[in-house]
């Protein structure tokens, strides 16, 4: 990967490769989920500090069979052992379930696939009756064996009652001097244990990552599958090739998404919601009929129904926008609530504020919520109108129905109703000269 970051921590769809494999395994409700780590393992364990994981350390990297040996002490010897790989992120839970069912705790179930170009993969060798007899790694294969197109994916389900004995019988007399897990196939055949074969539903499920090129290819595979899922659910995508889902995206009916949008964490879009081009939404719930206009960034927020957000709006964490709210271009809202029908249409900052219903906030208005050490709250009650270029110096409360004139700096609470100004005398100095740079 040409990187200091352990391979399994490189991100796909915003999450480490290993997290995808763990998620697929969790879908089967395993009694134990053991991660075997080696080089860079401490970094992996720190990054994936999830509950319910068991860790085993492979001090020396002596092959896949040796890796599974390190996990044996943590596994139920009477159950089915399912072996996955941390750099194979797109394996589907349905495929894994078919393997476990095929094993049934008594058989060895192997996931294979046929490739037009099998180079680099171990080949599946079958006997005269078409039964799997062994797996041969490419470096150890004969020229004839290298013509076989059925390859080993490495993913298998094994009976725990047999696994320890098979692993103890492994030998490293091969081109790489390693203990191959694939050699247990021949051991199972020798013991009369049936070998079942299953295939993935899609070829990309079994693709591993060994370079940034391959990682980028899998990213596109993943995003293409997400686009298909959304299209099949009735979502309109302006271009299915230009959407990135880096978490979960749930959509209601008649949702439309323009190009180059990124969805991170958990995002939900209500019926009829529209998301314009180049938006980034992270952990956001968007209500029905709301339009999120282009270049809007929103994070950890709830947006009500029939709202209008953007373009170029920034909705920061802790924001709650009610129905029919308008937050316009170059408006930033942080840790604030805006009541139904309130508007901040241009060039404003609303932070640490509670804004009532039907409030209008003029262009250039800011809530001065930070005194250099602490944040303070601004309260704007219902039906307040705030003129352009107003500074509200928190903590401060603007009473219901009040109007604040343009350019005012409000440092004290304002009573309900009426007009509040901070009047300044306009002065003209006709003889004043603009400073000029000295001539060279």
Asked if residues 367 and 349 have their Cβ atoms less than 8 Å apart, the reply is yes
For residue 7, what are the CA distances in angstroms to 41, 42, 44, 254, 292? 11, 13, 9, 39, 36
Catalytic residue (one of 43, 346, 376, 385): 346
204 included as an active-site residue: no
Distance CA 334, CA 320 (A): 9
Q: What is the dihedral of CA 65, 66, 68, 72, to 10 degrees?
A: 130
Give DSSP secondary structure letters for 91-150. Answer: --HHHHHHHHHHHTTTSEEEEEEE-SS-TTSPEEEE-TTS-EEEEE-GGG--TTGGG--E
Residue 194's contacts (CB-CB under 8 Å, 6 or more residues apart) are: 106, 107, 108
Distance CA 16, CA 83 (A): 19
Query: Taking the mean position of all CA atoms in its chain, how far away is CA 122?
Result: 32
Asked if residues 193 and 162 have their Cβ atoms less than 8 Å apart, the reply is yes
Give DSSP secondary structure letters for 128-140. Answer: TTS-EEEEE-GGG
Query: Taking the mean position of all CA atoms in its chain, how far away is CA 14?
Result: 4
Of 277, 272, 271, nearest in space to 257 by CA: 277
Which tokens hold the place of 376? 């303070």
For residue 200, what are the CA distances in angstroms to 93, 98, 137, 152, 355? 10, 9, 21, 12, 54
**Residues belonging to the active site:** 346
């Amino acid at each position: 990967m040409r990187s200091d970051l352990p391979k399994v921590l490189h991100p796909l769809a915003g999450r480490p490769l290993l997290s995808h494999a763990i998620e697929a395994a969790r879908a089967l409700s395993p009694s134990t989920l053991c991660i075997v780590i080696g080089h860079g393992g401490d970094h992996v364990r720190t990054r994936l500090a999830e509950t319910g994981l068991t860790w085993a350390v492979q001090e020396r990297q002596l092959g896949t069979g040796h890796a599974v040996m390190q996990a044996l002490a943590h596994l139920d010897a009477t159950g089915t052992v399912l072996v996955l790989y941390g750099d194979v992120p797109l394996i589907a839970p349905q495929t894994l379930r078919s393997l476990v069912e095929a094993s049934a705790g008594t058989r060895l179930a192997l996931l294979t696939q046929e490739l037009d170009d099998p180079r680099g993969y171990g080949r599946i060798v079958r006997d005269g009756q078409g039964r799997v007899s062994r797996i041969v790694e490419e470096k150890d294969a004969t020229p004839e064996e290298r013509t076989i197109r059925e390859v080993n994916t490495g993913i298998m389900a094994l009976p725990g009652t047999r696994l320890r004995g098979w692993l103890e019988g492994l030998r490293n007399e091969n081109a790489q001097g390693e203990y191959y897990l694939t050699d247990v196939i021949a051991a199972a055949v020798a013991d009369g244990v049936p070998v079942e074969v299953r295939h993935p539903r899609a070829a990309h499920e079994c693709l591993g990552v060994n370079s940034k090129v391959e990682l980028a290819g899998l990213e596109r595979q993943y995003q293409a599958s997400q686009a298909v899922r959304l299209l099949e659910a009735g979502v309109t995508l302006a271009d299915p090739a230009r959407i990135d889902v880096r978490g979960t995206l749930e959509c209601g009916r008649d949702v439309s998404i323009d190009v180059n949008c990124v969805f991170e964490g958990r995002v939900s879009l209500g019926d009829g919601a529209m998301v314009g081009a180049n938006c980034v939404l992270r952990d956001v719930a968007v209500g029905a009929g709301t339009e999120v206009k282009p270049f809007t960034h929103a994070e950890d927020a709830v947006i009500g129904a029939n709202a209008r957000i953007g373009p170029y709006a920034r909705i920061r964490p802790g924001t709650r926008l009610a129905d029919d709210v308008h937050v316009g271009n170059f408006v930033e809202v942080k840790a604030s609530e805006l009541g139904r029908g309130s508007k901040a249409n241009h060039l404003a900052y609303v932070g640490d504020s509670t804004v009532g219903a039907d409030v209008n906030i003029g262009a250039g208005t800011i809530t001065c919520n930070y005194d250099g050490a602490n944040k303070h709250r601004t309260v704007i009650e219902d039906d307040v109108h705030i003129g352009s270029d107003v500074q509200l110096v928190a903590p401060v409360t603007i009473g219901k129905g009040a109007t604040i004139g343009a350019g005012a700096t409000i440092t004290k609470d304002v009573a309900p109703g009426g007009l509040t100004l901070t009047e300044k005398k306009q002065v003209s100095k006709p003889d004043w000269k603009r400073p000029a740079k000295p001539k060279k």
